[in-house]
Each structure stands twice: as C-alpha cells, then as structure tokens.
Amino acid sequence: MSLTFYLDKGASLDPGAPCLTLDGASLTYGEVVDLSHAVARALRRAGVKPGDKVGILSSNDPVAFSCVFGIARAGAVWCPINPRNAGSENAELLDLFDCVALIHQPSFDELVAEIAPSLPKVTTRVRLGADFDAWLDAAREDPSAEAAQPEDVVALVGTGGTTGRPKGVMLTDRNLEAMSAITLMSYPFEGRPVYLAQAPLTHAAGVLCFPIMARGGEVVIMAKPDVGRFLELIERHGVTHTFLPPTLIYMVLGHETLPSRDLSSLQCFWYGAAPMSAARLAEALDRIGPMAQLFGQSEAPMMISTMSPAEHRHPDGTIATERLSSAGRPSPLVTVTILDPEGRVVPQGERGEICVRGSLVMAGYYRNPEATAEASAHGWHHTGDIGFLDGDGFLYIVDRAKDMVITGGFNVYSAEVEQALMAHAAVRDCAVIGLPDEKWGERVAAVIQAQPGAEIDVAELTAFVKQRIGSVKAPKQIEIWPDLPRSTVGKVLKTEIRTTLTSKETAS
C-alpha cells in the first residue's frame, strides 16, 4: 500500500462524494485523485525521484493536503512542516530532512524568501495558487511513479525539538497502515464518517484523515483554530469524529455557545497529545458526548494505547471515574511492557518506562543511528514516558522520565500533581516542575492558569492538593500566570517555565 490507498479506496466507494471541505466548498474524491496524479507528474518532471523528500508548508488547506497524496504517488516522502514554527526552525527541518522540493501557500512567501538562501538542496519551490496550476499544466504527459512498498519511508516527521535539536522520525507505509487499522478496529464508525479537522493537519489531525478516507468519509477542514466555529461546524455538518488536545477541549467546555449546540451526531471525540484532567474529562463526557482517548507519539503514531467511548463508562451508563486518568489499554496490534533502567520487566503495578513493540513503531531517526539505537535498546522502543499497567490491563502514564521530581528522597510524578491541581474548579490549566532546593534537593513547583474570571487563593489551593495527594507531593511553590507557554501544537513548554522561574530566583 501507499498513502494513496486511503484516498483511492474512498474514491472507489463514491468518486463524487465530498472528500475535503473548507468553508462550504468541497473537493470530491475524484477531484482529489486527479489532483494527486497531476502533482505526482509535476514532481517527476521537476526531477523529484522516488525516495526524495518534499516539504509542505501550509496552514490547513484542501489543496495542500491533496499534495500529500501526489507526493506519495510520485514515490517521494512527505515532510510536513509546521507553519506555526519560526522560520529558523523550519529551515533547520528542511535541511535536516534533505528536502529537494517545497510546496507552500502564498501567505508564506516572505518566510520562504527569508530561508531560501540557507536551503541549497531545495531546488524546486512551488507556490499554491495560479503558479501551482501552471506548474501542473506543464506536466500533463509525464507518468506517475509506482506505489510505495510496505517498508518504504512515506513520511518524515520532526520531533518537537523542545529539548534540543529536533530529530526526523521515519514512518513507513506499514507504520501508518497499522495506525489506521488500529483506529478502525478500536473506535466506533457507523455509516459514512464526517471528520472535523481543527488541529494542524501537519500533526495528529492529518494522519487521522487516512482511516476516515478509507471509509469514504468527508474531512471538514478549519483553516485556523476557532472554538465557537468548531462547535458550529459540528452541528452544521453532522460531524461524527474529531480530535483536539486537552487545552482546546478545556476551551470548548468554557465556551458560551456549548449549551446551545446540538452535538448529537458525535460518535467519537478523540483527545490526546497531552495528559487530560480526569475532572475535566468527566465534565466533557456529560456536556460534549462520547470521548475517546488515544496515546502515541511521532515514533509510534497515535495508537500505542486506546480507550473507546464505551470504556469511559460502566455497563449501566455511569462514568468510569476510576479509569479516567488512564491512557486506555494497549492497542490490538501493539505490545506494551514496563521496563526498569536495566531493561528488566517490572512487576505488575510498578512504575517504569513504557516500552513498545509492533508494526506501529518507526523505522528509526533519519540519519541518526545513535539516537535510533538509544530509543530501541533491549529490543523495545522506549517512549520516554513513566507508567504502569494495572490488573485490568489499563495503562497509566505518570510522567515523562525527564519530568520526575525527586524531593526529600521521594519520587514525585508531575502528572499526578497536575491531576490534583486540575480537580480544583478555579484551575483551567497547570504545569508542575522540579526546581533546585537546598533543603529538599528539589521542590515541587506549579504554575497555574486560572479559569476566566476566577481568583485563586494559593494557600487554599495548596490545602486542596494536600488533601488529595499528601504534603510531600503538594507544590511548595505556586505561581499564577495569565497563560502557559506552549509549543506550536499546544503542548506546555516546561523548559520555558523552568527557565523563567530559575531566572526570577537568580535575580532575587
């Protein structure tokens, strides 16, 4: 198979059905298929060979996303470039990936002109719009390439880069086939799905389109985030599936139009990419509808573990509060184990690093054998997350390995403290880190973003947390900030928080 399989499968069900929709205008499956063939021919005419890397720099856009399938049809490798990154970050990724071609929206003309001199390998630059149409027309007679083989790399994805130089994750056709198969077998799909993509198509929202297309579903695209419009589009289009990270779900829960919107069409509202407050999740189950968790990472996309809407509730319909803080059960096509630092399996219920095997796991990091070897030590892919498996097979993620705080000789997992803080009604979001401390070695510090209009009493919040998890784990320092620093995909940047708090402490 190739990435084109998902598109071609959908087209075989109904070529006239809407495939990609933006602002009420749709490209049909047949039109996207034709466009993908045209892009493949134009790339081949420009000298792009099978295995070459082609970047796409665009906000959410139907034509830009159609180019993904053209790249695949040419046998080339799709390199999603996040438009929210700084120009220097994107230049670094394009160089790291050895991209020979770049397709971009006109809105990024200035950025592309700025970084072009530092990218001698990029010999083909294509601007969407009239220039793009002319580029396609000039290549009508050139043949398309063969489809990818299962072990061929079809996508090269940059890691977040928040802890140093980013790495290129090599995803094969088999990796994305496994992800799509797990999606289709683990979550409800009744009838023809309608998927609403507000999150960036360069990340989770994009690869979730593939199983939707395999069922002939419609992908409704939002060019930019807008919570009010997001709720409006669910009602207008009868959206059945969507995905948001927790921070945006919290905004949905706080939006004034939520009570008046008809969300009854939803079959599966995926959440993931960061831990979600169990208290807010219970609220979402009552006020939004069928929530569904997915846990993965770029190196094992999306589906290491899953929790379907049904698993969020007991058979009698009541909310299964005891498992809302879990990441679900390991996926059907994935093997998960918990290892200690020496690579030994720990007993059930004990904490260790979450490690994974299966066809979901990447081929490795691009031109980085050292990082690949480190991530695959002991014959397992190491996620860098600390967690445990309970007696019912549910996976619990308690922290990133680098975020664990050792205070007074005790291991404190930041995710557990964050869950306790988020249970407070006045807390909208939070982040917990460890800071150097003369007495404790490290002290637990928390930065809080309050709910709109709410006032937080630090002493009262501290007592609230102590009551839930004890005084050792409760933050010894709490600061209230208007917002938390976030990456371009919405993840809280704890490195920036740590730098800010350390600088303030040094200055004082």
Contacts of 117 (CB under 8 A, 6+ apart): none
Answer whether 358's CB lies under 8 Å from 333's CB. yes
pLDDT over 90 percentage in the chain:
78
pTM metric for this prediction: 0.85
Residue 404, helix vs strand vs coil: coil
- Ranges of each domain in the chain: 4-18+26-172, 404-507
Answer whether 176's CB lies under 8 Å from 207's CB. yes
Bridge partner residues of 191 (DSSP) = none
Q: CA 209 to CA 27: how far, in whole Å?
A: 15
Q: Decide which of 3.40.50.300, 3.40.50.12780, 3.40.50.1370, 3.50.70.10 is the CATH code for 4-18+26-172.
A: 3.40.50.12780
pLDDT in tens, the chain (508 residues): 689 999 999 999 999 999 999 999 999 999 999 999 999 999 999 999 999 999 999 999 999 999 999 999 999 999 999 887 778 888 999 999 999 999 999 999 999 999 999 999 999 999 999 999 999 988 766 555 555 677 899 999 988 544 457 799 999 999 999 999 999 999 999 999 999 999 888 877 899 999 999 999 999 999 988 999 999 999 999 999 999 988 889 899 999 999 999 999 999 999 987 778 899 999 999 999 999 999 999 999 999 999 999 999 999 999 999 999 999 999 999 999 999 999 999 999 999 999 999 999 999 999 999 999 999 999 999 999 999 999 999 999 987 777 788 887 777 888 889 999 999 999 999 999 999 887 888 899 999 999 999 999 999 999 999 998 888 899 999 999 999 998 766 778 888 999 899 888 777 6
- The pLDDT score that the predictor gives to residue 86 is 76
Q: CA 44 to CA 148: how far, in whole Å?
A: 15
Secondary structure of 175-207 in the HEC alphabet?
HHHHHHHHHHHHCCCCCCCEEEECCCCCCHHHH
- The pLDDT score that the predictor gives to residue 163 is 45
- H/E stretch holding 69: helix 62-73
- The pLDDT score that the predictor gives to residue 336 is 98
Percentage helix, strand, coil for the chain under 3-state DSSP, each rounded to 5: 35, 25, 35
| Residue 390 tokens, joined | 């309970």
CATH (residue range 404-507):
3.30.300.30
b/e map 159-179, b = 16+ CB within 10 Å? bbbeeeebbbbbbbbbbbbbb
One fold for 4-18+26-172 and 404-507: no
Residue 303, helix vs strand vs coil: strand
Q: In a 10 Å sphere around its CB, with 0-12 CB exposed, 13-18 middle and 19+ buried, how is residue 250 labelled?
A: buried
